[in-house]
Amino acid sequence: MSTDFHHSGKSRVKRLPKRGFYDKETIYKILDEGIVCHISFILDNQPFIIPTSYARVDDAIYIHGAKTSRLLNIMDGRNKLCVSVTLLDSYVMARSAFHHSMNYHSAILFGTGEIIHSDDEKLIALKVFSDHLVPGRWEDARQPSEKELHATHVVKIIIDEASAKIRTGPPSDDEEDYGLDVWAGLLQFKTVLLDPVDDPRLKDGVNVPEYIQKFIKDKNS
């Protein structure tokens, strides 16, 4: 049985409550499928957004960047954060302009950030991060040196509350419009990976490894 994330007024889906979900299983799935999240925070009474890659572990997401990044430093505990992950599934083409819609899976998280100082925890987070993007890459790539690790900030955002908003299914037209001679249905999006492009400076004899070929095949299946 899946438990729910805490959801107060700020995370509850109000306008179309049947599209709102609060169980962790649903929200984890969206977070684990997404690649880029958008994080908003307040600075000098102005909202800011940064898009960034991330990875989830339990009820937290990790982001990382250069230690010199002003934005990552802002995320150290002092600021309230809102994080959004949005997966667009299809255009919903109704017979009336009014009932056009989109099918999507999206999650909104609220929480605060915390810069990770332990080298061990940073390394674990960076591996999780890498595994979230391309499984197998971490073991293949050159591992971070101590200097590189120290130049990297890892921020853990603990999810205080969260909700998902999901629309699925066909268009929903007004009853009298179903007789119109207008095509209606779904135009579904799929994100595929193209054939890998070798680095122009790739060493002779080095081929695309099997875990990357598998990754592309899985994504495109």
In the list 33, 187, 214, 217, the residue contacting a second copy (rule: CB under 8 A) is 187
In the list 31, 55, 83, 116, the residue contacting a second copy (rule: CB under 8 A) is 83
Query: DSSP string of 108-132?
Result: EEEEEEEE---HHHHHHHHHHHHHH
CA–CA separation, 102 and 167 (whole Å): 7
Q: How many residues bind a second copy (CB under 8 A)?
A: 93
Q: Which is nearer to a second copy, 4 or 84 (CB)?
A: 84
CA–CA separation, 174 and 34 (whole Å): 34
Whole-number minimum distance, CB 151 to a second copy, in Å? 8
CA–CA separation, 87 and 189 (whole Å): 10
Whole-number minimum distance, CB 158 to a second copy, in Å? 16
Using the rule CB under 8 A, is 1 a contact of a second copy?
A: no
Task: Report phi then psi at 181, rounded to 5.
Answer: -85, 50
Interface characters, 101-140, with a second copy (x: CB under 8 A)? -x-x-x-x-x---------------x---x--xx--xx-x
